[in-house]
């Protein structure tokens, strides 16, 4: 368990952060300039807070009162960055071996083999980084970090440089890491999509302060906590699997609202989290008839926010929970939408948010 309780003045920026990160992935989430990297730097030992304390298990990494400030290389922390930072002249195997040099107690062969297989990089071992795709490079960087047998992994926007498909390709490896590696991972991101998919817990930073801590479903459903104009804003809804139908669809129930999704890989009765991206929701004033979308939810408008690029993020209250719709400012005007109004949300796409179940 990582425990952070620090204050640090960085020029005109005042950082006050207090949170715990247990085993699993804790997402450090927030808009640009909120202080995410500053928190990471303090934990990794690249910068020194003015006040407070940071502990990892029973090791004190930093304690202002007693003057403890463990050097970065003695903290047992590995970091993966946006760019993989592999050594170009070394094979994948040698890059991994480089991580091993930093291990206080090197992993055994079996454990190293397990990491290689977990990340699916065995076929890449003889290749040089130039011959890898961006996603493969990030998996190797993750492997190199794990070869150093860290007690904490810091992941600073590790997917930010990848395109959408590559991101989707690497997410399952982070899920496995979350479920199998048995260490706390602090995962910096400003992507709602990644956080919804990966995080066991979310710490939201805003202007140098922790403004919320909690389960992803709670935090990400609160539009006040989402960065303005976030293109990936969306709702996370807990739903129960009701049936698997013979035409390939599964029926789910969320607070009395029926949702239909392509075959959900969960048994009947199980609670799952579904994610509905604001960009996949259209609004109608009357219940639309004869349309191909299967998922239509009635709700009430409870708020408007800037959605970026001529759009507005509309928050709806529905029996299934809060839903968001990103629509153009022009549509808001043309439909004369206002707070309190009853509307119908037409949901184009719904995705299962995470491989595991709601509430864990």
Ligand X SMILES: Nc1ncnc2c1ncn2[C@@H]1O[C@H](COP(=O)(O)OP(=O)(O)OP(=O)(O)O)[C@@H](O)[C@H]1O
> What is the binding site for ligand X (CB under 6 A)?
10-11, 13, 30, 32-38, 190
Q: How far is the CB of 306 from ligand X (least distance, A)?
A: 19
Q: How far apart, in whole angstroms, are the C-alpha atoms of residue 203 and residue 21? A: 9
Q: Which is nearer to ligand X, 29 or 260 (CB)?
A: 29
Q: Which pair of structure tokens corresponds to residue 109?
A: 């062969």
Q: How far apart, in whole angstroms, are the C-alpha atoms of residue 154 and residue 148? A: 13
Q: Which is nearer to ligand X, 33 or 319 (CB)?
A: 33
Q: Which pair of structure tokens corresponds to residue 303?
A: 């708020």
What is the Cα gyration radius of the chain? 22
Instruction: Reduce the DSSP state of residue 34 to 3 states and report it.
Output: coil
Contact in structure between 65 and 216 (CB atoms under 8 Å): no
Find where tokens 């989707």 sit: 168
Instruction: Reduce the DSSP state of residue 18 to 3 states and report it.
Output: strand
Among candidates 301, 295, 299, which has minimal Cα distance to 338?
Answer: 301
Q: Which is nearer to ligand X, 137 or 190 (CB)?
A: 190
Q: How far is the CB of 13 from ligand X (least distance, A)?
A: 3
Q: How far is the CB of 191 from ligand X (least distance, A)?
A: 11
Q: Which is nearer to ligand X, 39 or 239 (CB)?
A: 39
Q: How far is the CB of 18 from ligand X (least distance, A)?
A: 16
Q: How far is the CB of 39 from ligand X (least distance, A)?
A: 7
Q: Which is nearer to ligand X, 40 or 152 (CB)?
A: 40
Q: How far is the CB of 14 from ligand X (least distance, A)?
A: 9
Q: Which is nearer to ligand X, 30 or 169 (CB)?
A: 30
Distance of CA 283 to the CA centre of its chain: 27
Among candidates 77, 69, 81, which has minimal Cα distance to 44?
Answer: 77
């Amino acid at each position: 368990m990582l425990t952070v309780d620090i204050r640090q003045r960085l020029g005109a920026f005042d950082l006050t952060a207090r949170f715990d990160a247990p085993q699993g992935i804790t997402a450090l989430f927030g808009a640009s300039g909120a202080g995410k990297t500053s928190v990471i730097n303090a934990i990794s030992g690249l910068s020194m807070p003015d006040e407070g304390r940071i502990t990892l298990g029973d090791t004190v990494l930093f304690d202002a009162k007693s003057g403890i400030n463990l050097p970065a290389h003695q903290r047992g922390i590995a970091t993966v960055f946006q760019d993989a930072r592999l050594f170009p002249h070394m094979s994948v195997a040698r890059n991994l071996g480089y991580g091993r040099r930093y291990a206080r107690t090197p992993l055994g062969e079996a454990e190293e083999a397990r990491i290689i297989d977990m990340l699916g990089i065995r076929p890449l071992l003889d290749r040089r980084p130039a011959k890898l795709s961006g996603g493969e490079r990030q998996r190797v960087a993750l492997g190199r970090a794990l070869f150093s047998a860290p007690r904490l992994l810091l992941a600073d926007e590790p997917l930010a440089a990848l395109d959408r498909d590559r991101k989707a390709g690497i997410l399952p490896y982070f899920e496995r890491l979350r479920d199998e590696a048995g260490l706390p991972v602090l995962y910096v991101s400003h992507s709602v999509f990644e956080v919804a998919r990966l995080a066991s817990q979310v710490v939201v930073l805003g202007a140098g302060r922790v403004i919320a801590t909690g389960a992803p479903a709670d935090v990400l459903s609160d539009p006040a906590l989402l960065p303005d104009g976030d293109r990936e804003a969306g709702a996370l809804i807990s739903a129960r699997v009701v049936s698997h139908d013979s035409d390939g669809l599964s029926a789910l129930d969320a607070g009395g609202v029926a949702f239909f999704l392509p075959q959900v890989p969960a048994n009947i009765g199980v609670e799952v989290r579904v994610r509905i991206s604001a960009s996949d929701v259209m609004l109608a004033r009357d219940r639309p008839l004869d349309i191909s979308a299967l998922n239509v939810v009635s709700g009430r408008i409870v708020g408007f926010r800037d959605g970026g690029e001529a759009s507005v993020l509309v928050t709806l209250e529905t029996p299934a929970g809060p839903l968001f719709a990103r629509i153009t400012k022009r549509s808001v005007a043309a439909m004369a939408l206002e707070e309190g109004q009853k509307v119908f949300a037409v949901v184009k796409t719904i995705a299962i948010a995470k491989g595991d179940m709601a509430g864990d």
